[in-house]
Chains A and B, each alone.
Chain A
Amino acid sequence: MRSIRKIGLRLLLIIVVIVVYEIGVRYAYESYFASVIYTNREKSQMAGTIETLYCGTSTMQRGINMDVADQEMDTISFNIASSDQPMDGTYFLMKDMVKDNPVNTVFLGVSPETMSKDKLATKWKSLVVDRLDGAEDKMDYLIHGSSIEEWPYLLLYSVRVDDYLDFKAVKKNITKKCSKEFAEGSTHDKYYRGRGAFGRNKVYQAEPVGTLEQRKSAFNSADIYQKYEDYFKKCIEFCQEKDIEVVLLYPPMTGNKINKYKDITPIHDYYGEIAQEYGVEFWDFNYYKDLKTVFSNEFFEDEKHLNGEGGKVFARELAKVYRAYQAGEKTDKFFLDICPFYLAAE
């Protein structure tokens, strides 16, 4: 018994030291403009008010301008998407948001590429852990969404620091974090557009759309990692249990990206079948009637990510469909049965 007490006290000492060290390292080394700081801050400030959620991967995070979306759709929304976000991460982040907010609509972004990666980089999972509130939620995700070997990396910021010798950055971080501007939230990355969303100014410079012969990779639903498919469905089921409207959303891509797929139809069909199975809407903007005219290359930062301006355009187009849907109209009229780029190519 004496030994147990002795060990317990020493274990406690170790935990306290690691926690203090962790806080210190995070304060000194985590960039003052890291979006997670601002996202978490805004999330807690908005707690109890968020009605609409945008979920998914980088295409959703960079695809929607939140201000325009809210203005056009009369919503109070938040973007919980992040780069290569694993589906289980989306599920836990969504649950976390629904717990604290009166969410009534969820736009669930689809990303066949992310769902086809059976082993997503641990650093992308860390973006999920860092955004989750409370130890219980974090623990929940660690147990279900990561392997035990990833835990130290996900739990401890100090093991993620790339360069401990970058004292210049440390000085800048501490100076900035002690400033009034930081407290006010104006020191964030210039591409951070608030409420979790991003939007870069870069414009995609691409070659003209390729021919059928240039199409390289083919989508195969068998490539989808089973665990992510299950979590994708769990997200829909969770929303339906909570009486939340779910819309599956495939943000628009450039013609070049679309043409890189041998055929985009299997992707459309794969998510379409899931939508049908659960009786939810699936708005594939790569089948959008005005895809070629509205989403020209100038609204993209690269092949598949919309830029700052593109986020505004997409938010407006999405709002058009959403308003029609709210009014009880059929949304089919906005979409074609085939991707407009294939029409042109063939």
Chain B
Amino acid sequence: MTINSLGFLLFYTALVIIYFLPFMKRFQWMLLLIASVSFYYLAGSNNFIYIIAATIATYIGANLLEKKTQKQTEYLAENKANMTRPEIKTYKESIKKEKHNILVWSIVVILGILIVVKYGRFIAGNLDRILPMANLSDLTFFRLAAPLGISYYTLMSIGYLMDVSKGKCQCEKNILKTGLFLLYFPQITQGPIGRFTDMAGNLFGQHEFSYERFSYGCQRILWGFFKKMVIADRMKPMVDAIFDNYQNYSGFSIFLGCMYFAIQLYADFSGYTDIVSGFSGILGIELMENFRRPFFSTSLAEYWRRWHISLSTWFRDYLFYPLSLSSPAVKLGRVGKKILSPRVAKLVPSLYAMFIVWFATGLWHDASWRYILWGVCNGVIMISSMCLEPQFNWIKGKLHIANDNKIWRVFQMVRTFLIISMLKVFPMAVSTKGSFALIGKIFADFHIEFTKAACFPELGNNDFVAIIIGLVIFFYVSVRQEQGPMHERINKHSFPVRWVMYLALLLMLVTFGVFGTEMTGGFEYAQY
């Protein structure tokens, strides 16, 4: 069962009815836990061992961390008056060290599960190349199937532990509630990667039914389905046709395919986020926004601030900041000062952290070298643009280009989109070798050809019209969203105007959406 199936709609409708029964208020979080466990099972995962292990490790880790914090507070409250400053500092340092050990061990357990089940095969495969005699790939231990949502709940769990460790939030005393936080059904399969500080209040609180919330939730669900079924699902066969048989296409078609895939992936993933945010919003639980019109970005760095926000902010807060302030980064900075210009030397700790973050981002997406390369390429482009910023500014100055020049901004957006599209050669290939073959094709066999077979392979008339109409509406709504929240604008209109819009969108969904058994087709990002 996926969230875009009719089965899920029935499941969800039943849940909402029970959830808002007057006597259920106190038990709402329990109902959500039952629903989440059921959804996890119905979504095809009958292996609960990993998520139970992650929940227990998270629960124990968070509670131990908080106990240490409490111990420190109580001890200092009692003894601070009798202690000297160095003694207090030493005591705090010892507690910090203990907390650090707890945190590290909890993360080792949680991350260890992820490494074994998601990266085991990859690691064993690579080790076998170095030590062919070992034959590690044949070991069952390295051939486990990654359970649904493990990449997402692992990050949520680590983020929560780090927040508790830093005292940003209090730990949850109820293990079932910790389980609900990790397993909450709208975000288990592909995020958003929620933060405990943002979610706990809503997730464990009591909620009254709100018509406004219901109405807004339905708007988001409808819009999400439109993006998924009219744009993403219609474009998928065309994208698959190009990349499944890329040998038969020119570099031009392959590059178009990369652009199509960028759009398809955005419609698919943001559609999913809208749908789950709508479903969750109706229940009174707001999920983190995952997208802010990324194709309007003027640079790759901005794109990553607008795309998969919950992932990029997670890496920023829990990996980039700690890394850039770590002692190796500081030491590197000192070395940099000796051999580099002062401006670049200042950037060294950030560049060091960025490289690791992007390596990890690639690895998070998939256990393969092509994804690592994809992540590293993202990082290298951003690092280069940071290092070369003065040179770019000099050229801009010479060309008399103002930053607020509209044509310049459009050029930047197009340039960013082309870079993003080009980088899609990594996820779209079946192997690292395949990625290089795609790049080779794009550069060595690039000839522009404006035929239907070259530009829109495998696309019927109906598909073509559906995609064009879908994209025009999508673009218009995105432009309006850039100017302010769309639902507020919609709500300003009278009832008939509003409903003409809703019904028009619904009928377009019925007319141009991909239905049939294909409707059960999952979402692209669920594979990560």
Residues of A with Cβ closer than 8 Å to B? 2-3, 6-7, 10, 13-14, 17-18, 21, 25, 122, 147-153, 156, 158-159, 161-165
Contact = CB atoms under 8 A, between A and B. Distances in A.
Interface in B472-528: 499, 503, 506-507, 510-513, 515-517, 519-520
Tell me whether chain B's interface is mostly helix, strand or loop, or mixed.
helix
A134 B390 CA distance: 74
A159 B513 contact: yes
A159 B507 CA distance: 10
A165 B465 contact: yes
B23 interface: no
- Closest 8 pairs (CB-CB, A-B): A159-B515, A153-B516, A3-B211, A149-B520, A152-B515, A148-B7, A148-B6, A165-B461
B462 interface: yes
B214 interface: yes
A150 B503 contact: no
Given A148-B5, A148-B6, A158 B510 contact: yes
A149 B6 contact: yes
A23 to B, nearest CB: 13
Given A122-B517, A150-B516, A164 B209 contact: no
B205 to A, nearest CB: 20
B215 to A, nearest CB: 9
B302 to A, nearest CB: 38
A6 B461 CA distance: 40
A153 B513 CA distance: 11
21 contacts: A6-B211, A18-B506, A18-B510, A147-B517, A148-B6, A148-B10, A149-B5, A149-B6, A149-B519, A149-B520, A151-B6, A152-B516, A153-B519, A159-B511, A159-B513, A161-B462, A162-B462, A163-B460, A163-B461, A164-B462, A164-B465
Given A14-B506, A159-B513, A165-B465, A152 B460 contact: no
A156 B516 CA distance: 10
Nearest to A163: B462
Given A148-B10, A149-B520, A165-B462, 18 more contacts: A2-B211, A3-B209, A3-B211, A122-B517, A148-B5, A149-B5, A149-B7, A149-B519, A151-B6, A152-B6, A152-B516, A153-B515, A153-B516, A156-B510, A161-B462, A161-B511, A162-B460, A165-B465
A158 B519 contact: no
Interface residues of B, number: 24
Given A6-B211, A149-B5, A164 B517 contact: no
A194 to B, nearest CB: 31
B5 A21 contact: no
Contacts of B512: 164
A21 B509 CA distance: 12
A6 B495 CA distance: 13
B511 A164 contact: yes
Contacts of A25: 511
**Interface hub of B499, B503, B517, B520 (most chain A Cβ within 10 A):** B517
A153 B507 CA distance: 14
Contact of B499 (A7, A13, A151): A13
Contacts of A21: 507, 510
A151 B465 CA distance: 25
Nearest to B510: A158
Nearest to B5: A149
B462 A159 contact: no
Contacts of B7: 148-149
Contacts of A6: 211
A94 B460 CA distance: 38
A150 B517 contact: yes
B494 to A, nearest CB: 15
B517 A149 contact: yes
A159 B516 contact: yes
B515 A17 contact: no
B511 A158 contact: yes
A170 to B, nearest CB: 13
B518 to A, nearest CB: 9
A18 B6 CA distance: 17
B33 to A, nearest CB: 24
Contacts of B503: 13-14, 17
Interface string B212-230: 0010000000000000000
A122 B503 CA distance: 27
A17 B507 contact: yes
A21 B461 CA distance: 21
A169 to B, nearest CB: 12
Contacts of B461: 163, 165
Interface string B287-308: 0000000000000000000000
A13 B495 CA distance: 13
A7 B214 contact: yes
Contacts of A149: 5-7, 517, 519-520
A148 B516 CA distance: 10
Interface string B333-354: 0000000000000000000000
Contacts of A150: 516-517
B465 A122 contact: no
Contacts of A151: 6
A148 B517 CA distance: 9
Contacts of B510: 18, 21, 156, 158-159
A131 B507 CA distance: 25
B230 to A, nearest CB: 12
**Interface hub of B10, B460, B511, B516 (most chain A Cβ within 10 A):** B516
Contacts of B214: 3, 7
Contacts of B511: 25, 158-159, 161, 164
A203 to B, nearest CB: 33
Contacts of A7: 211, 214
Interface in B433-469: 460-462, 465
A153 B510 CA distance: 10
Contacts of A161: 462, 511
B236 to A, nearest CB: 17
A158 B509 CA distance: 10
B8 to A, nearest CB: 9
Contacts of A152: 6, 515-516, 519
**Interface hub of A13, A17, A25, A149 (most chain B Cβ within 10 A):** A149
B461 to A, nearest CB: 5
Contacts of A122: 516-517
**Interface hub of B7, B209, B510, B512 (most chain A Cβ within 10 A):** B510
Contacts of A13: 499, 503
A25 B507 CA distance: 11
Nearest to B509: A159
Contacts of A14: 503, 506
A147 B7 CA distance: 9
Contacts of A2: 211
Nearest to A13: B499
A73 B416 CA distance: 77
A159 B520 CA distance: 15
Interface in B1-55: 5-7, 10
A24 to B, nearest CB: 10
A130 B308 CA distance: 44
A148 B515 CA distance: 12
A17 B496 CA distance: 14
A90 to B, nearest CB: 21
A156 B509 CA distance: 12
Contacts of B515: 152-153, 156, 159
A16 B295 CA distance: 38
Contacts of A18: 506-507, 510
**Interface hub of B460, B461, B515 (most chain A Cβ within 10 A):** B515
Contacts of A158: 510-511
A21 B510 CA distance: 10
